[in-house]
Structure 1
Amino acid sequence: MISWTRAFAAFAAALTLASTMPAQAAPVHPVGTWGASADKVAGEAGATGLVDRSVRNLVHTSLGGSGVRVSLSNAFGDRPVTFTSVHVGVAGEGAAVVPGTNRPLTFSGADEVTVAPGTEVLSDPVDATVPADTTLAVSFHVVGESGPITGHNVAMQTSYLAATAGADVAAEESGAAFTTQISSWYWVESVVVEKPRQVKTAVLFGDSITDGNGSTVGANRRWPDVLADRIATSRFAGRFGVMNEGISANRVLADGAGGQRGLDRFRRDVLDQPGVTTVVLLAGINDIRWDFADEPADLIAGYRDLIDQAHAEDVCVVGATLTPYEGGSRYTPERDRVRVAVNDWIRTSGEFDGVVDFDAATRDPERPTRFLPAYDSGDHLHPGDAGYAAMAEAFDLSMLECDR
Structure 2
Amino acid sequence: MPIPAFRASFPSLSNSHTIPYRAASTDRGRRRFLLGVPALAGALGLAPRSAFAQSWRGEGWSATWGCAPAGPPPAASTTSFSGQTVRMIVRASIGGNRIRVRLTNEMGNAPLTIGAAQVGLRASAQAVVAGSNHPLTFGGRTSVTIQPGSPLLSDPVYFQVAPFADLAISLYFPGTALGTTIHRDAWQTNYVSTSGNFAASSTFTISRSFASWPFLSEVDVDGGAPCVVAIGDSITDGQGSTANQNRRWPDYLARRLQSELGTAGRIGVVNRGIAGNRLLLDDPNALLAGRDVLERFDRDVLATPGIRAVIVAIGINDIVYASGTALGEMRDDLVAGYRQLIARAHARGIAILGATLPPMAGFVYYTAAREAVRQQVNSWLRSANEFDALIDWDGVLRDPSSPARIRPDYNSRDWLHPNDAGYGALANAVPLGELTSMVA
Q: Same fold (TM over 0.5)?
A: yes
Q: Hey, what does 1:8 align to over in structure 2? A: none
Q: CA deviation at 1:146?
A: 2.0
Preserved contact between residue 81 and residue 143 of structure 1 (Cα < 8 Å): no
Q: Hey, what does 1:310 align to over in structure 2? A: 345
Q: CA deviation at 1:145?
A: 2.3
String of CA shifts for 1:58-78, please: whole Å, max 9, x gaps: 111110112100000101001
Q: CA deviation at 1:35?
A: 0.2
State the distance in 1 between where 2:109 and 2:77 align.
12
Q: CA deviation at 1:43?
A: 7.4
Q: What's the secondary structure of 2:199's corresponding residue?
A: coil
Q: CA deviation at 1:345?
A: 1.2
Counterparts of residues 3-402 of structure 1 (less than 5 Å)? 13=52, 16=55, 27-40=58-71, 42=73, 47=78, 49-164=80-195, 167-174=196-203, 176-196=204-224, 199-235=225-261, 237=263, 238-256=265-283, 257=286, 258-291=289-322, 293-294=327-328, 295-400=330-435, 401-402=437-438
Q: Is the deviation greater in 104-113 or in 145-154?
A: 145-154
Q: CA deviation at 1:92?
A: 1.3
Q: Which has the higher contact order (CA 8 A, sep 6+)?
A: 2
Preserved contact between residue 72 and residue 108 of structure 2 (Cα < 8 Å): no
Q: RMSD of the TM alignment (CA)? A: 2.1
Q: Which has the higher helix share?
A: 2
Q: What's the secondary structure of 1:160's corresponding residue?
A: strand
Q: What's the secondary structure of 2:115's corresponding residue?
A: strand
The amino acid that maps onto 1:388 is Y
Q: What's the secondary structure of 1:344's corresponding residue?
A: helix
Q: TM-score, normalised by structure 1?
A: 0.90
State the distance in 2 between where 1:75 and 1:335 align.
34
State the distance in 2 between where 1:154 and 1:260 align.
15
Q: CA deviation at 1:262?
A: 0.9
State the distance in 1 between where 2:197 and 2:133 align.
15
State the distance in 2 between where 1:204 and 1:134 align.
20
The amino acid that maps onto 2:438 is C
The amino acid that maps onto 1:371 is I
State the distance in 2 between where 1:254 and 1:223 align.
25
Q: CA deviation at 1:314?
A: 1.1
Distance verdict in 2 for CA 1:271–1:226, change over 3 Å: same
The amino acid that maps onto 1:276 is I
State the distance in 1 between where 2:296 and 2:138 align.
25
State the distance in 2 between where 1:193 and 1:200 align.
11
Distance verdict in 2 for CA 1:125–1:302, change over 3 Å: same
Distance verdict in 2 for CA 1:336–1:121, change over 3 Å: same
String of CA shifts for 1:256-299, please: whole Å, max 9, x gaps: 22121111011110001101110000000000001155431111
Preserved contact between residue 65 and residue 193 of structure 1 (Cα < 8 Å): yes
Q: What's the secondary structure of 2:60's corresponding residue?
A: strand
State the distance in 2 between where 1:139 and 1:208 align.
26
Distance verdict in 2 for CA 1:188–1:44, change over 3 Å: farther
Q: Is the deviation greater in 207-216 or in 41-50?
A: 41-50
State the distance in 1 between where 2:423 and 2:221 align.
26
The amino acid that maps onto 2:369 is E
State the distance in 1 between where 2:266 and 2:376 align.
35
Count of equivalent residues = 381
Q: What's the secondary structure of 1:288's corresponding residue?
A: helix
State the distance in 2 between where 1:326 and 1:236 align.
39
State the distance in 2 between where 1:307 and 1:236 align.
30
String of CA shifts for 1:5-26, please: whole Å, max 9, x gaps: xxxxxxx948959xxxxxxxx9
Q: CA deviation at 1:41?
A: 5.7
The amino acid that maps onto 1:226 is Y
String of CA shifts for 1:67-99, please: whole Å, max 9, x gaps: 100000101001110112211111111111111
Q: TM-score, normalised by structure 2?
A: 0.83
Q: Unaligned 5+ residue runs, structure 1?
A: 1-11, 18-25
Q: CA deviation at 1:179?
A: 3.5
State the distance in 2 between where 1:46 and 1:144 align.
19
Q: CA deviation at 1:348?
A: 1.6
State the distance in 2 between where 1:374 and 1:337 align.
25
Q: What is the identity percentage for the equivalent residue pairs of Structure 1 and Structure 2?
A: 42
Q: What's the secondary structure of 2:123's corresponding residue?
A: coil
Preserved contact between residue 46 and residue 148 of structure 1 (Cα < 8 Å): no
Q: CA deviation at 1:44?
A: 10
Distance verdict in 2 for CA 1:232–1:41, change over 3 Å: farther
Q: Unaligned 5+ residue runs, structure 2?
A: 1-50
Preserved contact between residue 249 and residue 423 of structure 2 (Cα < 8 Å): yes
Q: CA deviation at 1:45?
A: 8.5
State the distance in 1 between where 2:375 and 2:153 align.
42
Preserved contact between residue 111 and residue 148 of structure 2 (Cα < 8 Å): yes
Q: CA deviation at 1:169?
A: 1.1
Preserved contact between residue 96 and residue 173 of structure 1 (Cα < 8 Å): yes
